[in-house]
């Protein structure tokens, strides 16, 4: 089989053995693969797939003798969200492998495929240096000019890098600013001449960065902000889109009627959340918190003034 089909088959094994556990037998796994047209030649092939997952990705699918079936083992000290993030990367690779094998010519791609892209994005060239700094746990130095200040002059910043993340096709770095003594977020499009310096990161703050990001939509984290419950009421049509592509991992449906759907989020209130809400226009109403409802009311009124 091709590498893309092998990856697809192994990802299926992960999906079928993860929580909530159903403990499928090896025979049942083989039958499911056959139903998808990617069946293994023998049960031994499934064993080899599990060995590959364990050896190459440290993903351990184990057999439970009591349940007489297989389950995905995740160590108690491993962050489940980290694991899911890694599986998402494998799924992205699966889609890319499929496209590479399915698209046989440039003409095929031009006729039938169109990707979202932004060729003018500045800052992608910083990624390799920042990744190297993260991998080696080294301090990184770069020039930085903020968009907030008009005619901002680039200054030299020296930071202990924490995590890289992407939002709306832009890349950002959460890091400990050594001079200012605090966590800051830096846009790669405002960054220049990054370089890894010899100094080793003094304190590992990975858990702090991840905790900050977990309850945030977008980039901005106001100082001292705590996550709050946000309830949004969508009309039935728009709700289908929001339910099929959630705004945040905390999203849940709290009420559904013939005319609307109420959706709750547990997130930090910030500029990006407001922008997401405003983008839905008349299809959404903020029910709570009251402060956010007032803010959106004021901003909608300001927009209306432009056209009055």
Residue 98, domain member (yes or no): yes
Residue 173, domain member (yes or no): yes
Q: Classify the C-alpha dihedral 214-217-221-224 as positive or negative.
A: negative
Residue 37 or 293, more confident: 293
Could you give the number of structural domains in the chain? 3
Give the domain-ending residue among 115, 147, 180: 115
Q: Quick one: pLDDT at residue 79?
A: 64
Give the domain-ending residue among 192, 214, 236: 214
Residue 222, domain member (yes or no): no
pLDDT higher than 90, residue 288: yes
Residue range 123-151: mean pLDDT, rounded: 87
What's the pLDDT band for 203 if we cut at 50, 70, 90?
Answer: confident
CA 73, distance to chain mean position in Å, is: 23
- Say whether both 57 and 142 belong to one domain: no
Residue 176, domain member (yes or no): yes
pLDDT higher than 90, residue 68: yes
- Say whether both 15 and 75 belong to one domain: yes
Residue 87, domain member (yes or no): yes
5-9, 83-87, 134-138: which is most confident: 134-138
- Say whether both 30 and 109 belong to one domain: yes
Model pLDDT for residues 231-269, shown as the tens digit of each residue = 999 999 999 999 999 999 999 999 999 999 999 999 999
What's the pLDDT band for 97 if we cut at 50, 70, 90?
Answer: low
pLDDT higher than 70, residue 174: yes
Omega before residue 16 within 30° of 0, cis? no
The CA distance from 174 to 227, in Å, is 19
The CA distance from 286 to 300, in Å, is 12
pLDDT higher than 90, residue 161: yes
Judge whether 13 and 53 are in contact, CB under 8 Å.
yes
CATH number at residue 274: 3.30.70
Residue 223, domain member (yes or no): no
- Say whether both 99 and 2 belong to one domain: yes
Judge whether 223 and 198 are in contact, CB under 8 Å.
no
Residue 57's domain comprises 1-115
CATH number at residue 191: 2.30.30
The CA distance from 4 to 93, in Å, is 9
Q: Quick one: pLDDT at residue 195?
A: 95
- Say whether both 161 and 191 belong to one domain: yes
CATH number at residue 79: 1.10.10
- Say whether both 108 and 135 belong to one domain: no
Q: In this predicted structure, which of 8-22, 99-113, 190-204 has the lowest mean pLDDT?
A: 99-113
Q: Quick one: pLDDT at residue 142?
A: 96
Residue 167 or 80, more confident: 167
pLDDT above 90 covers a percentage of the chain that reads 53
Cβ-Cβ contacts under 8 Å for 184 (sequence gap 6 or more): 159, 174, 175, 176, 177
Taking CA atoms, 304 is separated from 219, 285, 298, 300, 308, in Å, by 27, 16, 10, 6, 6
Give the domain-ending residue among 61, 92, 115: 115
- Say whether both 99 and 4 belong to one domain: yes
For 288, half-sphere exposure in the C-beta direction (CA atoms, 13 angstrom radius) is 9
Residue range 7-34: mean pLDDT, rounded: 90
Residue 221, domain member (yes or no): no
Residue 172, domain member (yes or no): yes
pTM: 0.70
Q: Quick one: pLDDT at residue 99?
A: 60
């Amino acid at each position: 089989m091709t590498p893309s089909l092998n990856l697809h088959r192994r990802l299926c094994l992960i999906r079928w053995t993860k929580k909530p556990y159903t403990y499928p037998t090896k025979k049942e796994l083989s039958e499911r693969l056959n139903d998808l047209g990617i069946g293994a030649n023998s049960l031994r092939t499934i064993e080899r797939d599990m060995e590959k997952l364990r050896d190459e990705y440290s993903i351990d699918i184990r057999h439970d003798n009591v349940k007489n079936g297989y389950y995905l083992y995740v160590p108690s000290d491993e962050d489940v969200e980290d694991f899911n993030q890694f599986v998402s990367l494998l799924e992205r690779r699966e889609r890319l492998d499929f496209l590479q094998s399915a698209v046989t010519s440039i003409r095929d791609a031009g006729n039938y495929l169109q990707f979202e892209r932004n060729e003018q994005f500045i800052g992608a060239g910083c990624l390799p240096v920042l990744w190297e700094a993260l991998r080696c746990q080294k301090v990184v130095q770069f020039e930085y000019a903020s968009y907030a200040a008009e005619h901002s002059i680039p200054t030299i910043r020296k930071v202990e890098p924490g995590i890289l993340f992407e939002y709306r096709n832009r890349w950002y770095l959460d890091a400990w600013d050594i001079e200012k003594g605090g966590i800051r977020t830096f846009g790669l499009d405002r960054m220049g001449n990054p370089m890894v310096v010899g100094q080793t990161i003094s304190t590992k703050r990975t858990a702090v960065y991840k905790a900050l990001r977990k309850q945030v939509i977008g980039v901005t984290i106001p100082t001292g902000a705590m996550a709050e419950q946000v309830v949004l009421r969508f009309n039935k049509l728009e709700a289908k889109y929001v339910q099929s592509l959630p705004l945040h991992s905390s999203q849940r449906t709290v009420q559904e009627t013939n005319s609307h759907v109420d959706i709750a989020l547990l997130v930090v209130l910030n500029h990006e959340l407001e922008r997401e809400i405003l983008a839905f226009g008349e299809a959404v109403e903020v029910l709570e918190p009251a402060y956010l409802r007032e803010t959106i009311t004021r901003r909608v009124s300001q927009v209306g003034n432009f056209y009055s």
